[in-house]
Amino acid sequence: MLPEKMREILEEPRFALELAAIIPKAKRADEFIDGAKWSLSRDPFSGKRIGSSHVWFLPMEEIPGLLPVILYYTFDDDYVNFLSIQETIYPPEN
Protein backbone atom coordinates (compact mmCIF):
# COMPACT_ATOMS: atom_id res chain seq x y z
CA MET A 1 0.00 0.00 0.00
CA LEU A 2 1.40 3.39 -1.01
CA PRO A 3 1.52 6.20 1.56
CA GLU A 4 -0.93 9.05 1.04
CA LYS A 5 0.43 12.10 -0.77
CA MET A 6 1.74 14.85 1.52
CA ARG A 7 -0.12 18.14 1.40
CA GLU A 8 1.55 21.55 1.50
CA ILE A 9 0.88 23.68 4.60
CA LEU A 10 -0.36 27.25 4.07
CA GLU A 11 -0.70 29.77 6.89
CA GLU A 12 -3.30 32.54 6.81
CA PRO A 13 -2.14 35.99 8.02
CA ARG A 14 -4.57 35.73 10.95
CA PHE A 15 -2.95 32.46 12.00
CA ALA A 16 0.54 34.01 11.91
CA LEU A 17 -0.55 36.97 14.07
CA GLU A 18 -2.29 34.72 16.61
CA LEU A 19 0.68 32.35 16.75
CA ALA A 20 3.08 35.23 17.40
CA ALA A 21 0.91 36.28 20.35
CA ILE A 22 0.78 32.75 21.80
CA ILE A 23 4.43 31.70 21.45
CA PRO A 24 5.84 34.08 24.10
CA LYS A 25 3.33 32.65 26.59
CA ALA A 26 3.63 29.00 25.64
CA LYS A 27 7.11 27.69 24.90
CA ARG A 28 5.67 24.47 23.53
CA ALA A 29 3.40 26.20 21.01
CA ASP A 30 6.12 26.06 18.34
CA GLU A 31 6.62 22.34 19.04
CA PHE A 32 2.86 21.86 18.68
CA ILE A 33 2.89 23.66 15.31
CA ASP A 34 5.80 21.56 14.03
CA GLY A 35 3.99 18.39 15.08
CA ALA A 36 0.72 19.60 13.58
CA LYS A 37 2.42 20.37 10.27
CA TRP A 38 4.01 16.94 10.17
CA SER A 39 0.81 15.13 11.11
CA LEU A 40 -1.75 17.12 9.14
CA SER A 41 0.32 17.24 5.94
CA ARG A 42 0.17 13.44 5.97
CA ASP A 43 -3.33 12.91 7.39
CA PRO A 44 -5.59 15.97 7.72
CA PHE A 45 -8.39 13.67 8.91
CA SER A 46 -6.49 13.22 12.20
CA GLY A 47 -8.17 16.36 13.59
CA LYS A 48 -11.87 16.73 14.34
CA ARG A 49 -14.44 18.26 12.02
CA ILE A 50 -16.67 21.07 13.26
CA GLY A 51 -20.18 19.82 12.46
CA SER A 52 -20.73 19.55 8.72
CA SER A 53 -18.48 22.55 7.92
CA HIS A 54 -15.18 22.41 6.07
CA VAL A 55 -13.34 23.59 9.17
CA TRP A 56 -11.46 21.12 11.34
CA PHE A 57 -9.61 21.58 14.62
CA LEU A 58 -6.66 20.00 16.36
CA PRO A 59 -6.28 20.53 20.12
CA MET A 60 -2.88 20.65 21.77
CA GLU A 61 -2.38 18.15 24.58
CA GLU A 62 -3.18 19.75 27.89
CA ILE A 63 -0.08 20.99 29.69
CA PRO A 64 -0.33 21.96 33.36
CA GLY A 65 -0.27 25.73 33.81
CA LEU A 66 -1.11 26.54 30.19
CA LEU A 67 -4.45 27.20 28.58
CA PRO A 68 -5.37 24.65 25.91
CA VAL A 69 -4.48 25.72 22.37
CA ILE A 70 -6.69 24.84 19.42
CA LEU A 71 -5.56 24.94 15.77
CA TYR A 72 -8.30 25.49 13.17
CA TYR A 73 -7.71 24.43 9.58
CA THR A 74 -9.24 23.39 6.26
CA PHE A 75 -7.79 21.15 3.58
CA ASP A 76 -8.18 19.80 0.08
CA ASP A 77 -6.24 17.26 -1.97
CA ASP A 78 -3.14 19.47 -2.19
CA TYR A 79 -3.11 21.86 0.79
CA VAL A 80 -3.78 22.18 4.51
CA ASN A 81 -4.66 25.77 5.32
CA PHE A 82 -4.01 26.88 8.91
CA LEU A 83 -6.77 29.41 9.62
CA SER A 84 -6.47 30.30 13.29
CA ILE A 85 -4.88 29.26 16.57
CA GLN A 86 -6.57 30.14 19.84
CA GLU A 87 -6.02 29.69 23.53
CA THR A 88 -9.25 28.65 25.20
CA ILE A 89 -10.43 27.88 28.70
CA TYR A 90 -13.03 25.58 27.17
CA PRO A 91 -11.24 22.93 25.11
CA PRO A 92 -13.44 21.04 22.63
CA GLU A 93 -14.94 17.76 23.79
CA ASN A 94 -13.20 14.63 22.53
pLDDT digits (tens, 9 = 90+) for 21-79: 876 665 666 777 888 999 999 999 999 999 999 999 998 876 666 677 899 999 999 99
Helix, coil or strand: residue 31: helix
Q: Which fold has domain 8-87?
A: YaeB-like fold (3.30.2310)
Are the C-beta atoms of residues 50 and 59 closer than 8 Å to each other? no
Contacts for 13-19: CB closer than 8 Å, 24+ residues apart: 14/83, 14/84, 15/82, 15/83, 15/84, 15/85, 18/84, 18/85, 18/86, 19/85
pLDDT of residue 49: 95
**What is the rounded end-to-end Cα distance, in angstroms, of the chain?**
30
Q: What is the pTM of this model?
A: 0.83
Are the C-beta atoms of residues 21 and 91 closer than 8 Å to each other? no
Task: Report the pLDDT averaged over residues 1-30.
Answer: 79
pLDDT of residue 30: 72
pLDDT of residue 3: 57
pLDDT of residue 93: 61
pLDDT of residue 6: 92
Domain-wise residue ranges, the chain: 8-87
